[in-house]
Structure 1
């Protein structure tokens, strides 16, 4: 049954997807802007194009299915989803305002789980009973694994490229690496779109199932993925310049060669996690990849003080979003 609240939830979800786009635009374009391969305006257009192109390739929706199963079905209501989205949007805007590259994925998961736990508590159940612990544990483990995998792959790619190009003239090599960076940044944007748009698809599908508009996840109508990919691409076009500065210059100075390595590593990591239906963080992945190319130069090339601050933001995102989700649900339940 289609209700006003369902319409509001769908609009909020698409709004979150748009915010996700401009919050995470930096993940795709930070290195290509910092190396001056593209201007910021052209870079966001380039990234948005590949964000949307992912719609035609990522049709299995494995990540969306994982997100939909974060909270157990008996604890899912439209109010729970609404509260989770409000919490996720609030934390995303807060971290964007202060230029903190936190994970939009984990913000959404934390908000959704927190509101579900609050609902369980109000019903007199154990809050943890509302959460699919298996799916959540897998997601949380990739707070650590995604940046480590991204870093490892970027180190390997960087060392391979350095050895292959060691006899090339620097000016010629840099020209080619700028061309290759167009390809690698496109690949990263493609993977980002395929990974992150699905998270909102999972939330919308969950809302439709809760209202018995569709019987199950497999019956999700085509307008859901289409609108999600359009929203994330539109958000990317809006840019996120404060986070671009953090990602592109504050972690370590990035050259075109290193940009190719970091972006390629990020795209490969996200491709692997999407294949297994794991909603990994694009932010964590590309940050780890950028750290990897810095480490290849020398360990001191990485600004570890900035990196540690980012780690704190990563660790806090899920619990803070969960608390916000729980508080929002309680306000809706007792006051509204």
Structure 2
């Protein structure tokens, strides 16, 4: 880890340390901002003592980050267009990272202070979109190319539909519990339990389900939200110290061969589908073999890009043997090939089986570019886990008492938490970032409606307002900060 500091200017080292610290600060805030939602029901229902619940939640968040992989991390990274990812320089990279993080941290702290369950996922995505759009405006790039709109649509859909699903599934689950056991004590609130049964804690089985589901929510939250911090740190490292991080220098000979084989098979795939793809990729036509590092990813340059990559990787068994410039070139080739393959996969004339083969080739292509060093994963896990252990009280009160007109019952808490676990778990399978905050709070709201408890208009209005305003506010804030930083660097 220390090796990549060698040969760097002092100001670059300081900037790098500050940028990583900013990311870890964001994850720390994310811990006490979002994870309060994971323990809100278990604390409110008195299934666990607050400090024990928060400690265990922090531990499960930590484990979630360690074991969650990097699929969601790179879903976040690829919100930015591939051209911005391959052409970023040190100053530009610093401006981009500091702008989006400053915007995200400011919004997160503001909503936490007022006890509003706003989404860190929305916040981060809005901040990334802001710097992408600002970059397009500054460099006279068409807005359509300023960000990866297809990725925005995919992630936007998951962020919009997951709370709706949380509302509906939680409501249905509660109705199922009421039908199954209408007279059960699980339909009591903590106050009713204390007054009628003179007991402080939920019945044993309800308590067990509440505790287990709270910890699973914490685990899947860590595996989803923690990856966003991993993606941000990788943006920092690639933008500031590209020679060390554009490729996974710990890649084995097998992984490099897998990348090389995927490139060769991709060429064969295109040739096999020449009738469908020949015009789009300009296959077999005279093409410019000169591929400067600053060029954009043009599908018509696919053949020379493939040939250049195969030539560069010929005989390579260890990425350390490549020069810094060659590593950057290899990453640029791989990103461009993956970007083109993604576009090819959306051509309607291409058969379903061919599209499936193409997706498998894309995974092999990116095996040495979509990665994160263990120290990055560990640092994010620690920041998120430690952040979980403070600052939870404001949001717990909102979730437990201020969404519905009555307090939450044990059955409502179980329904909301089980639904949240399932929703985030499925999102992790598809590598989609979702909001723990929105799913859980909408799940609680769904159970309140199903229980005919009614909703508190003021709280729901504030949550919806934060939901609606988060994206435009963070887009505007990060774009403005990035524009000012770019002017200062000019």
Length-normalised TM-score, structure 2: 0.65
Structure 2 CA distance for aligned equivalents of residues 130 and 7 of structure 1 = 28
Structure 2 CA distance for aligned equivalents of residues 193 and 53 of structure 1 = 7
Structure 1 CA distance for aligned equivalents of residues 97 and 46 of structure 2 = 41
Aligned Cα root-mean-square deviation (Å): 2.0
Gaps in structure 2 of 5+ consecutive residues: 6-11, 86-92, 187-196, 248-368
> 1:177 matched to which residue of 2?
206
Structure 2 CA distance for aligned equivalents of residues 105 and 177 of structure 1 = 30
Q: How far has the Cα of 1:169 moved from its partner?
A: 6.2
The 3 A distance-change label for structure 1 pair 290 and 224 is: same
Q: Give the secondary structure class of the aligned counterpart of 2:105.
A: helix
Q: How far has the Cα of 1:44 moved from its partner?
A: 0.9
Q: Give the secondary structure class of the aligned counterpart of 2:203.
A: helix
How many residues end up aligned between the 2 structures?
A: 334
Structure 1 CA distance for aligned equivalents of residues 66 and 442 of structure 2 = 28
Q: Give the secondary structure class of the aligned counterpart of 1:36.
A: coil
> 1:227 matched to which residue of 2?
379
> 1:281 matched to which residue of 2?
435
Q: Give the secondary structure class of the aligned counterpart of 1:273.
A: helix
> 2:222 matched to which residue of 1?
193
Deviations for 1:46-98, whole angstroms, at most 9, x for unmatched residues?
21121112134322x21111001011133352321221011101111111111
- Give the helix-richer structure, 1 or 2: 1
Gaps in structure 1 of 5+ consecutive residues: none
> 1:120 matched to which residue of 2?
136
Superposition pairs of residues 208-227 of structure 1, within 5 angstroms: 208-211=237-240, 212=242, 213-216=244-247, 217-227=369-379
In structure 2, which of residues 119, 123, 126 is the aligned counterpart of residue 110 of structure 1? 126
In structure 2, which of residues 403, 412, 426 is the aligned counterpart of residue 258 of structure 1? 412
> 1:68 matched to which residue of 2?
77
Q: How far has the Cα of 1:262 moved from its partner?
A: 0.8
Structure 1 CA distance for aligned equivalents of residues 84 and 211 of structure 2 = 45
Deviations for 1:219-245, whole angstroms, at most 9, x for unmatched residues?
421111111111111000013322221
Q: How far has the Cα of 1:142 moved from its partner?
A: 3.0
In structure 2, which of residues 92, 111, 115 is the aligned counterpart of residue 99 of structure 1? 115
Task: Tell me whether 1:328 sits opposite 2:337 in the alignment.
Answer: no
> 1:239 matched to which residue of 2?
391
Superposition pairs of residues 48-59 of structure 1, within 5 angstroms: 48-59=58-69
> 2:51 matched to which residue of 1?
41
